[in-house]
Amino acid sequence: MLVGREYESDRLRSLLDSDKSEFVAVYGRRRVGKTYLIRETFNYHFAFQHSGLSSGDMQQQIDEFRNSMMLSGWKEKKRPENWYDAFHQLAGLLAASKDDKKVVFIDEMPWMDTPRSNFISALEHFWNGWASARKDIILIVCGSATSWIMDKVILDHGGLHNRLTNRIFLQPFTLRECEQMANLQGIVLSRKELLEIYMIMGGIPYYWSYLQRGMSMAQNIDRLFFNPKGELYLEFDALYASLFKNSQLHIAVVAALAGCKRGLSREEILTATSLTDNGKFDKALRDLEYCGFIRKYNMIDKKSKGALYQLMDNYTLFYYHFIRNNEHNDQHFWSNSQGKPIHLSWTGLGFERVCMQHVDQIKAALGISGVLTNVYSWRTVKTDEHPGVQIDLLIDRSDNVINLCEAKFSADYYTFVQEDEADLLLRQSVFRLVTKTKKSIHPLLITTHGLTPNRYSGIIQNVVTMDDLFK
């Protein structure tokens, strides 16, 4: 059963009513559910479907492409010598199809573009010279290597320039969609436990599909990530290798960002990694941003050249904090960490990331869904005029308000104490002094269950709870 994805599925299904041929790119990070979405939307019925080989030279790729055509009813015995021949034969197969709309689904297309194969040129010729001149072709291309889809298809300056008629970037699930998926699987866990799983896995449906009924949250995490036989034990290397051809450069960037929750500037990343300042480095940053692994943002008092890059992928953050440093190979690491300082500090960081990923839900809880916003972290160093402070989440609103957000993961209602109030007043004062903002500053508490009213809680203007994030 397809969970969520109503908007994306409706967009794909509407192509069947189009009065022209359609060329669609569906992209997103590995394991986010691209293939499943397309297959479910079209009820597994395609005039032609094919998936590229994860490894294979040009001829092997072409031979498998031909085999897929034969499975679709193609009777041509001649073996294609190159990609131009292969796409010419595909045109013949589609021309003979009796379907009113001929849906062509080519999955993992980046793998098919082997060196010196002229694959892109042949694809351009197929679309520009044949398919686009008809009214009955729906060509859907897909791939986990998001940077390849962006560079070679979406942002192409050659024959495919402006040829796409639709593009769909498939985002990870929200908390609400993950809860729906868990319910369908018969997983009985509290929202607090589901929230913690989200801090670890993010909204990646493939990861959530491995949760087992009858096991606690900690048992599931131990089994999947810390047991050598676990389905996700080796996921990190597989994830980055599948997305990027030279993944070591990308891994070096995320490793540096994993150690700084507020983010790093381009220059700080170069210093931390000792990487060379060149086009390959800039491309690695763009690749990671395309995939949603990092986000680029400008602080309120900084120019664009002072932009910061922040690691946003929940699994990557979890990997660097725990899996990579599991020195004793403890297969019950997560169960043994529950309630200990290492776990409590992690939940604070993880909860902040989840809040950043659910700004739409926070805005809805505040009743400002229609208000334009910018979301960022902010810090300033100590000077003679003020101390150094850091604010991990700010929502800068176009209605003349800035929400200074306090994200607190708590087992119960959160209780503000005198130190909390003093710290918040200080950061609010320094922020106004340094940025010279004229906007109203509204402290916002985002927490699991709510706020205990007391003499120190009055500083908080609004409270958003875990249940709001699940809406």
CATH number for the domain running over 358-469: 3.40.1350
Tens of pLDDT, residues 389-410: 989 889 999 999 999 999 999 9
pLDDT at position 327 is 65
pLDDT at position 328 is 66
Rounded mean pLDDT, 426-442: 94
In the predicted structure, residue 86 carries a pLDDT above the cut 80: yes
Domains 6-169 and 358-469 share a fold: no
CATH number for the domain running over 6-169: 3.40.50.300
CATH of 172-356, one of 1.10.287, 1.20.120, 1.20.1440, 1.10.10: 1.10.10
* Nearest of 193, 186, 201, 244 to residue 217 by alpha carbon: 193
End-to-end CA distance of the chain: 21
Number of other CB atoms surrounding residue 84 within 10 Å: 16
Q: Which two tokens stand for residue 406?
A: 């306090």
Pairing of strands 401-408, 440-447: parallel
Rounded mean pLDDT, 409-436: 94
In the predicted structure, residue 231 carries a pLDDT above the cut 60: yes
pLDDT at position 377 is 84
Tens of pLDDT, residues 255-290: 999 988 888 999 999 999 999 999 999 999 999 998
The Cα-based distances of 49 to 101, 149, 170, 318, 364 in angstroms read: 14, 18, 20, 36, 40
Task: Domain ranges for the chain, please list them.
Answer: 6-169, 172-356, 358-469
Buried-exposed string 97-118: b where 16+ CB fall within 10 A, e elsewhere: beeebbbbbbbbbbbbbbeebe
Q: Which two tokens stand for residue 158?
A: 């050659």
**Contacts of 430-438 spanning 24+ positions with Cβ under 8 A:** 430/380, 430/386, 430/387, 430/389, 431/378, 431/380, 431/389, 431/391, 431/404, 433/385, 433/386, 434/301, 434/380, 434/386, 435/300, 435/301, 435/378, 436/301, 437/300, 437/402, 438/400
Greater model confidence, 308 or 104: 104
Whole-angstrom distance, CA of residue 231 vs CA of residue 103: 33
Which uninterrupted H or E stretch holds 352? helix 341-357
Tens of pLDDT, residues 287-335: 999 888 999 887 776 655 678 899 999 999 999 988 887 766 889 999 9
pLDDT at position 104 is 97
Whole-angstrom distance, CA of residue 153 vs CA of residue 150: 6
pTM: 0.90
pLDDT at position 271 is 95
At 69, the pLDDT band (50, 70, 90 cuts) reads very high
pLDDT at position 290 is 87
54's CB contacts (< 8 A; 6+ apart) are 108, 111, 242
pLDDT at position 246 is 82
pLDDT at position 330 is 86
The Cα-based distances of 287 to 48, 255, 290, 294 in angstroms read: 30, 15, 5, 9
Mean pLDDT of the chain: 92
At 119, the pLDDT band (50, 70, 90 cuts) reads very high
In the predicted structure, residue 424 carries a pLDDT above the cut 60: yes
Pairing of strands 22-27, 166-169: parallel
pLDDT at position 75 is 86
CB 7, CB 143: distance < 8 Å: no
